[in-house]
A and B are shown apart, each in its own frame.
Chain A
Amino acid sequence: MSSRNQILRPRATAILAASWALLVAATAAAAALTSAPAPDFTLHSVAGSNLRLQEQRGQVVMLNFWASWCGPCRQEMPQLDRLYEKYHAAGFQLLGVNVDEDVRNATGVSSKLGLHFPVLLDTEKKVSRLYDLSTMPSTVLIDRDGRVRYIHRGYKDGYERRYDEQIRELLRE
């Protein structure tokens, strides 16, 4: 058994490594497209009113897709709230898009975290599908002309610093 394993290990590892390298290279080569117009949508907000993305034209908009059952999302939102308070007066709009099936979870988490930015309800997942989200959370930065400029997948400690820099950059334009 041991001699068979010794022969298997270097050959199999080489083939496996080659396969992974190919997969990574193929996916990395497809660079993300930027400067494309952000798909428009209208959603009901937690506050009760309807909000349309097109109406935010002229402001820098950040869309944050989140859910109550997503741990990193709940970690990220207080940071986003801080950014909202900091840059809102300068023309920055932050829209939280919640995908919970039960709206009460969205309102519950939103009030528990004391969020100041509008939270929109995407229970039918229409907007999530429109933006073809690949991770939860997903954060999309849209410039004053309504074009998608940056997309962040997931959330890790420290991401908010990158958001800060990018918001400032887009506000300056």
Chain B
Amino acid sequence: MNVERIIAGGLMAAALLLAGCSIQPWVKPYERERLADPMMKFSRDPLADKHREHIFDVREAAHGATGVQGGGCGCN
């Protein structure tokens, strides 16, 4: 219960801080050329990744947290 209150309070504080002080993003949208490269994607080929994930899922006890992508072009 305490942990949840702390997290919620922290989020509130962060929102206020961002709203009041406008921390500027330090990587500008026009500086993202490298990040937009397909090479910088954690997962480039969904079918191949699905195959690998299945191989390990069936043989290893660990599963999950295979990741959802961010970064990239950041366009729009």
Which A positions have Cβ atoms within 8 angstroms of B?
4, 7-8, 11-12, 15-16, 18-20, 22-23, 26-27, 65, 67, 69-73, 99-101, 122, 125, 128-129, 133-138, 154-156
Contacts and interface: CB of A to CB of B under 8 A. Distances in A.
Given A69-B37, A128-B30, A15 B75 contact: no
Interface in B5-24: 7-9, 11-12, 14-16, 18-20
Contact of B30 (A4, A11, A65, A154): A65
- Which of A7, A67, A156 has the most chain B CB within a 10 Å cutoff? A67
Interface of B: 1, 4, 7-9, 11-12, 14-16, 18-20, 28-33, 36-37, 73-76
Contacts, number: 77
A71 B76 CA distance: 9
A-B complex: 7 closest residue pairs judged by Cβ atoms: A26-B19, A19-B15, A154-B76, A15-B8, A69-B36, A128-B30, A99-B30
B8 A11 contact: yes
Nearest to B24: A132
Interface of B is mostly: helix
A109 to B, nearest CB: 13
A168 B20 CA distance: 38
B28 A133 contact: yes
Contacts of B9: 15
A8 B75 contact: no
A22 B16 contact: yes
- Which of B1, B11, B14, B15 has the most chain A CB within a 10 Å cutoff? B15
B73 A12 contact: no
- Which of B28, B29, B32, B36 has the most chain A CB within a 10 Å cutoff? B29
Contacts of A20: 15
